[in-house]
Amino acid sequence: MNINSIKHFQPFQHSIFGSLQPLVDKKFPVEPLTACIALDDHFRALGEELYSLYQLLQPMKAVRVEMTPSQQSKFNNYFSSVQTSQMNAHGEYIIASVRRLGLSAFRIILILSALRILETGEIPTKLTCTDEDFYTALTICNTLMVHTGKIFSTLPQVEENPSGHLSSSRQQQFLTSLPEDITFTRQTYLQTAETLGIPVPSADRYINRWVNSGALEKVGHGEFRRG
């Protein structure tokens, strides 16, 4: 997979990303062999157990899985917060990944809820997600969001003008056009960016970069100050 920039990241936003670092340990501990379980046998047994559930569900009509009103509210609040924080950090190109992750979270909830049938032995027409499964799904997605942000941040952050060359003067003009010595909001700097022909994702990225470098101060949620 070859992704040259954040623009080329969009077609892959139906995917779940992982960033793994090799674990290097100078020590190679050797422990006494007490019990040995062949991994092939272990995973074959798990597969057979899940396949039995699959066969059990096949002849049935659809099983409805629901979240409680409290879970629905927490779900919406969680992903709304994640979307805002990720957009502020990486710009609007990452929004599709956040929303796709929300869909993945619900699919994880479906799987975890269905697995409860193996514990209860009951096959109801409606399943209500337990709080344990709900928070497990959000915990998994929280980790996946960290990985997605890591992958996104490694992509080239170059915004080209129509001639294909980076316009640093336009960035500088954008910075100097922002209000000085007063607090301004995201809406204010997006209006300024629009007058300069700067796309919204680029404007968000420039603001985030200037906050990190100290050129701007973030004084509150969605509020900034220059000077």
Residues 148 and 70 in one domain: yes
Tokens at residue 189, please?
């700097």
Tell me which residue range forms the domain holding 216.
168-226
pLDDT, one tens digit per residue, over 39-76 is 888 899 889 988 888 887 777 777 889 999 999 999 99
Residues 149 and 199 in one domain: no
Q: 187 in a domain, yes or no?
A: yes
Q: 208 in a domain, yes or no?
A: yes
Q: 71 in a domain, yes or no?
A: yes
- Into how many domains does the chain fold? 2
Under 8 Å between Cβ of 98 and 79: yes
Locate the DSSP E strands across the chain.
64-66, 126-128, 183-185, 216-220, 223-226
Complete edge-to-edge strand list for the sheet that includes strand 183-185: 183-185, 223-226, 216-220
Residues 139 and 203 in one domain: no
pLDDT, one tens digit per residue, over 92-121 is 778 888 999 999 999 999 999 988 888 877
Residues 175 and 146 in one domain: no
Q: Which of 114, 137, 157 is the last residue of a domain?
A: 157
Residues 184 and 151 in one domain: no
Residues 137 and 186 in one domain: no
Which candidate, 76, 98, 88, places its Cα nearest to that of 9?
98
Residues 148 and 177 in one domain: no
Q: Which of 117, 136, 157 is the last residue of a domain?
A: 157
Please state whether the predicted TM-score (pTM) of the whole model is above 0.85: no
Q: 13 in a domain, yes or no?
A: no
Residues 129 and 190 in one domain: no
pLDDT, one tens digit per residue, over 169-182 is 778 888 889 988 88
